[in-house]
Amino acid sequence: MTDATPLIHATDLTVRPSGAEVPVLAHVDFAIRPAEIVTVVGPNGSGKSTLVRALLGHVPLAAGRVERKPGLRIGYVPQRVHIEQALPMTVRRFLSLPVRVSDERAAAELARTGVPGLESRQISALSGGQFQRVLLARALLNDPQLLVLDEPTQGLDQPGMVGFYKLIEEVRSQTGAAVLMVSHDLLVVMRASDRVICLNGHICCEGTPQAVSAAPAYRAMFGADSQGMLALYEHHHDHDHDHVGTGAGHDHHHHHHH
Ligand SMILES: Nc1ncnc2c1ncn2[C@@H]1O[C@H](COP(=O)(O)OP(=O)(O)OP(=O)(O)O)[C@@H](O)[C@H]1O
């Protein structure tokens, strides 16, 4: 935990899209600090993408406020499904859209993300894992202080996911960028996260991966899957105070000893 000034700080965030009868997100408090890896988990429709879009300033707020550090540089890795993979375009050209970058810089980021030398390949000819790394390389081109990834490993197999999250941790330690991810890949993503936020229209619980996987609200939401995950964490458990925030006030800290 660090006391550094947050890159983004949201207070009492409420979002109600026009046409929606109830808020999609209500009373969410959120902050992310430099070099932190924070993952938002939650079931389909729980407001994960809406939270990210609100933090980025892309959706109007019904209440609350979002403060972003002035001049904050954000690298965004969109959901793969939103990208037209059939577009005839080389990787090199893709990396220079919308902002032109040098060959050296393009090559360096492709190397950093584990896909060196792909410049002349067609985007449409890449594997899912290669494409994901090209998207990450592109997001790194403007030296982001914050990387935002919306379900970055959709469609990757288990080794692909594990490799991708390992890469994210490397990128964080090399660049010092904070990372905000949305994910369904609870098992692997939790291991790569400093802090997990469990969302369901509001924050159900949040804290270290260990603390969240032990939280009743989390277990209620993810059921049996959470059991295996907890076992993975038990031997990492530190006996300091794992904090489980209680966004909605109906969930209690649950300390696990073995
Ligand atoms: N513009 C809108 N108008 C009405 N409802 C909306 C709008 N945008 C989002 N919603 C609703 O808000 C809820 C949350 O959507 P959101 O995409 O944030 O969830 P999510 O947790 O990212 O879901 P998923 O895991 O399926 O991607 C959904 O029920 C969605 O239908």
Is residue 251 within 8 Å of 215, Cβ to Cβ?
Answer: yes
Distance CA 11, CA 242 (A): 23
Q: Report the pLDDT value the prediction gives residue 243, as an integer from 0 to 100.
A: 44
User: Average pLDDT of 43-57?
Assistant: 93
Question: Model's pTM, two decimal places?
Answer: 0.83
Q: How far is the CA of 238 from the centre of ligand 1 (A)?
A: 36
Q: In this model, does residue 160 exceed pLDDT 80?
A: yes
With a 6 Å cutoff on the Cβ, whether 42 touches ligand 1 is: yes
Q: In this model, does residue 3 exceed pLDDT 80?
A: no
Query: Angle at which helices 103-112 and 128-140 pack, to 10 degrees?
Result: 130
User: Average pLDDT of 150-171?
Assistant: 90
With a 6 Å cutoff on the Cβ, whether 45 touches ligand 1 is: yes
Which residue has better confidence, 230 or 15?
A: 15
| ipTM given for this complex | 0.95
Q: In this model, does residue 229 exceed pLDDT 70?
A: no
Q: CA quadruple 242, 233, 203, 50: dihedral positive or negative?
A: positive
